[in-house]
Amino acid sequence: MRFKLTIEYAGTRYSGWQIQKNARTVQGEIDRAIREATQEKVFELYGSGRTDAGVHALAQVAHLDIGSDLPPESLRRRINDLLPSDINVLRIEKIRHRFHARHDAVARSYIYQVCRRRTAFAKAWVWWVKEELNIDSMRATAQHFVGRHDFQSFSDDEPGEKSTDVLVDALDIHEDGDLILVHIEGSHFIWKMVRRLVGVIVEVGRGGLTPADAASMLTASSELPARLTAPASGLFLERVYYEGDPRDVPLQNAAGQFFNRYGATTPSRAGK
């Protein structure tokens, strides 16, 4: 039987999503919990894509092939009972057997949180930028990256290993109190691309680059984005879209209200 899992997690304590030897990962924790919850030894857990060490997810998607006959809700509760508190399975639903969490995804969206003040509580979920930021310049820069472009300068993959052409459907800058939220949506994203885009956009906001300087990185190879890579702490995988999913959903920045009220930020979603 194949199930579709929707999962949220804080990535701070993990070496990314994918199972690794001698490292604690999100997939590894879920794999362990499934084994204990079902007593099944043979199953497949396959995610929609990797997130790097320290990166979070509001709605990661995975598919699970398993012989268990537990109802989806019972399975979800049993798995959650065995997971650490910073990983939570939001939903489990039966899905057609041909569904593939990664190959069937048609788009993905990320949110990056930049904080404009020191915070005692939110260090693991934001990038605190001390300098004054020019939001208009950041927005002008973001628009240069919308559309289909070669993002080779923004990738950590070896040149020529795979295509660096990416279609960015939207790249918007929102303000919510002391937070600046960078929201990006596209067909797919290559390794470290989002964090390097954010780093370049923030550098423009600081005044260290112009929007034209940033745009030129799409047409000429540059090592500058690598040096400006934003820290993993502020990055959240927001959604993974499949055929038929609505694309006009509100920005999932429930973080903003919590931040402004309590001086911290953490995305608020349904719990166990």
What six digits make up the tokens of 230?
């934003």
Please check whether residue 129 is in contact with residue 116, taking contact to mean a CB–CB distance below 8 angstroms. yes
Short-list 62, 64, 73, CA closest to 237: 62
Please check whether residue 3 is in contact with residue 64, taking contact to mean a CB–CB distance below 8 angstroms. yes
Residue owning tokens 């973080």: 255
Report, in angstroms and rounded to the nearest whole number, the Rg of the chain calculated over CA atoms. 19
Residue owning tokens 């949180």: 113
Calculate helix-pair angle for 135-144, 193-206, nearest 10 degrees.
Answer: 140
The one catalytic residue in 52, 81, 150, 248 is 52
User: What's the CA gap between 239 and 246, in Å, rounded?
Assistant: 11
Q: In the chain, which ranges are continuous DSSP H helix?
A: 26-38, 72-82, 135-144, 193-206, 211-216, 224-227, 255-262
Residue owning tokens 């509760």: 77
Single-letter amino acid code for the residue at 182: V
Strand 127-128 to 105-115 pairing: parallel
To the query of whether residue 150 is one of the catalytic residues in this protein, the response is: no
Residues noted as catalytic: 52
